[in-house]
Structure 1
């Protein structure tokens, strides 16, 4: 066993402990948390706070080879064009990049990841990884006639990732037809199937659904996709798709850059298991703006954090995502940010029996956060994996 004392221990499931001690065994299982070490156990003194390993609920591991290749602040539609332009590379290069990205997340204290995949490129890294992965096989088709083929292909790709945890999921409102949403909802009635969907990353998504205007029309035309069948809905994209989503499975709405209070209130009218995921680094990289985070704080929803991909972020560091949100809304406490980055993500992924809090019997990982300004994260604050 090993015992570590720090200035504070944030176990997440209890109040912070000043001069707290965490004891773990060789397998990383929590043996004790408190102010007293087990008998005859040497204690290593650390400077900073101890907390559980981080849970990254939104990443695209297979896009890791696009690091520094996609321009910043272009807006989502041009970002999509650039990703498609640079996406296809030698398979070995793409796989090598996934291995490096996985190692980066490990070093940054991440212990579990909800990862988006459109292919099996990330499979090798996930099989070798020390991290827990749930893979979301993403479905794309805004053309109704392609819905069944795309859905069946998605199920086949899920099989390739088994026995690792995996599910099929819609990509985004602007890329999934009502027919494809219907197939997915029917599947979710009888199969365990976590959902993660990109939501309202830009105003053009809402413009498409409200008025059938905006830059997505140019994108479809450029890709040779005829959406003449699509009729404007006179409401935002989120309000349109919520009735199409299942009430049997947990749903993660990711990004939410342009989600407003009316959208939030609209959701509350429906019996849906909604979770929100914020990826501020990617929001700034792509759109140069952040969600109205303060709107979500007291609404009673589960909030999680993600890094998005190296195509849309400079690093895979959940502590940096916390700092960006803290800078945006200074009233957000460190305790709340750590909860978003640990137990909330674990609960969404269904692994909170093992991860997310420093609870005796769990194997949540153990992170040391140092160089804080009191309980504020600064540009100098660092995270180090301890166990």
Structure 2
């Protein structure tokens, strides 16, 4: 056994412990968390705060080779065009970038990832990784006649990730037809575990598309040569239109929520759906140049998590960096709340909270050391060091 002592230990499931001590066994399993050192156990002393390993609820490691190649603050539609134009390169380049991204997340104290995949490029990296991965195999298809083919292709890709955790999920309201949503719902209703994740209201044009059938998504589909004349405006925002199409038998992660308003939140609350909201603030700033109205979600009783999105839309894969952005823009957010979003909430959504997410006996959550804080406030100089 060995012990780690710091100015404070934030177990997340309990109050912070001043001069806290975390004792682990040789496998990294928590033996005890307290304010005293067990006799005969070696102790490492640190200045700073010890907290559990981080959970990255939303990433795309297979896009890591696009680091620095997409335009910033150009809007989602232009970002989509750039990714589609740039993503196909030599497999070796994709593999090396994916491997480096996995290492970067590990070094940044991330212990579990909810990762989006549209190909099998990340299978080998995930199977060899020290990080826990749940892969969300995304399905696209806005044309009704392509629904069955797209769904079967997604099921085949899902099988390639086994025995790792994997599920089939919709990409976004603007890229999945009602027919494809129905196939997904039927599948999710019948499966014991098919966690759902969906990009939601990442830009205002998504809401314009659903409300009025205008905006930049019309040009996007024209550019791709896709005839969407069948689609009729819904006279309401995208999430209000598609939430009834999602299964109520599975947990649902709504990602980004950059343009989600209070009416949308209240609409979602009226439905029998197990919703978790995931924020990726650095990616929102990178793509749209704006942040979600996070304050609207704070007192509504939802599970909230954090993600990094991909290196195509972020300068780094760091949950600490996401917390720092939120702390900068919402100074009133307490550290214990940010740490909940960064640890246990993501673990709960992924269904692995019996192993990670909090520092308590019997768990193997990993341990991170945060340094260079201002009291209990994160600063731009705050750093994370992985202890376990």
* Normalised-by-shorter TM-score class: over 0.9
CA distance in 1, matches of 2:88, 2:153: 20
- Could you tell me how far apart the structure 2 residues matched to 1:163 and 1:340 are? 27
Residue 321 (structure 1) aligned with residue 322 (structure 2):
yes
SS at match of 1:314: coil
Q: Does 1:353 align with 2:354?
A: yes
Equivalent-residue separation in structure 1 for 2:72 and 2:124 (angstroms): 29
1:16 aligns with 2:13: no
Q: Which residue of 2 aligns with 1:279?
A: 280
Instruction: Report the Cα offset of residue 37 of structure 1.
Output: 1.8
Indicate the residue corresponding to 1:296 in structure 2.
Answer: 297
Question: Aligned Cα RMSD in Å?
Answer: 0.5
Deviation (angstroms), 1:42: 2.1
Is the CA contact (8 Å cut-off) linking 1:12 and 1:338 kept in structure 2? yes
Partner of 2:66: 66
In structure 1, the partner of 2:114 is 114
- Equivalent position of 2:104 in the other structure: 104
Instruction: Check if 1:221 corresponds to 2:219.
Output: no
Query: Distance in 2 between the 1:255 and 1:196 partners?
Result: 11
Deviates more, 1:34-43 or 1:152-161: 34-43
* In structure 2, distance between residues paired with 1:269 and 1:133: 31
Q: Which residue of 2 aligns with 1:310?
A: 311
Answer yes or no: is the 8 Å Cα contact 1:141–1:180 preserved in 2. yes
Task: Please state if 1:77 is matched with 2:77.
Answer: yes
**Deviation at 1:118?**
0.2
> Which residue in 2 is equivalent to 1:55?
55
**2:197 partner SS:** strand
How far does the alpha carbon of each residue in 1:252-310 deviate from its partner, in whole angstroms, 9 at most, with x for none? 00000000000000011100000000000000000000000000000000000000000
Match of 2:378 in 1: 377
Shift of the alpha carbon at 1:43? Answer: 1.4
- Equivalent-residue separation in structure 2 for 1:100 and 1:13 (angstroms): 32
**CA-to-aligned-CA distance 1:158-203 (integer Å, 9 cap, x gap):** 1000000000000000000000000000001110200000000000
TM-score by length of 1: 1.00
Measured against aligned partners, the alpha-carbon deviations of 1:103-137 in whole angstroms (never above 9, x if no partner) come to 00000000000000000001111011000000000
Equivalent residue number for residue 211 of structure 1: 212
2:100 & 2:23 partners in 1: Cα distance? 30
Task: Quote the residue 2:42 is aligned against.
Answer: 42
Distance 1:359 1:175 in 2: 42
Cα distance in 1 for partners of 2:340, 2:270 equals 26
What's the TM-score, normalizing by structure 2?
A: 0.99
What is the distance in 1 between the residues matched to 2:339 and 2:221?
40
Gaps of at least 5 residues in structure 1 are none
SS at match of 2:47: coil
- The answer (yes or no) to whether the contact 1:32–1:38 under 8 Å persists in 2 is no
Partner residue in 1 for 2:164: 164
Equivalent position of 1:129 in the other structure: 129
Whole-angstrom CA distance in 2 between matches of 1:292 and 1:260: 8
8 A Cα contact 1:239 1:266, kept in partner: yes
Q: Structure 1, residues 312-336: CA drift from partner, whole Å, max 9, x if none?
A: 0000010010011111111110000
Matching residue of 1:154: 154
Structure 1: distance between partners of 2:281 and 2:143: 31
* Number of the residue aligned with 2:25: 25
CA distance in 2, matches of 1:302, 1:62: 27
SS of match in other structure, 1:193: coil
How many Å separate the matches in 1 of 2:261 and 2:336?
A: 25
Partner of 2:251: 250
Q: Show structure 1 runs of 4+ deviating over 6 A.
A: none
Q: How many residues align?
A: 387
Give, in whole Å, the separation in 2 of the partners of 1:331 and 1:258. 22
Deviation digits for residues 222-277 of structure 1 (CA, Å, limit 9, x no counterpart):
00000000000000000000000010000000000000000000011100000000
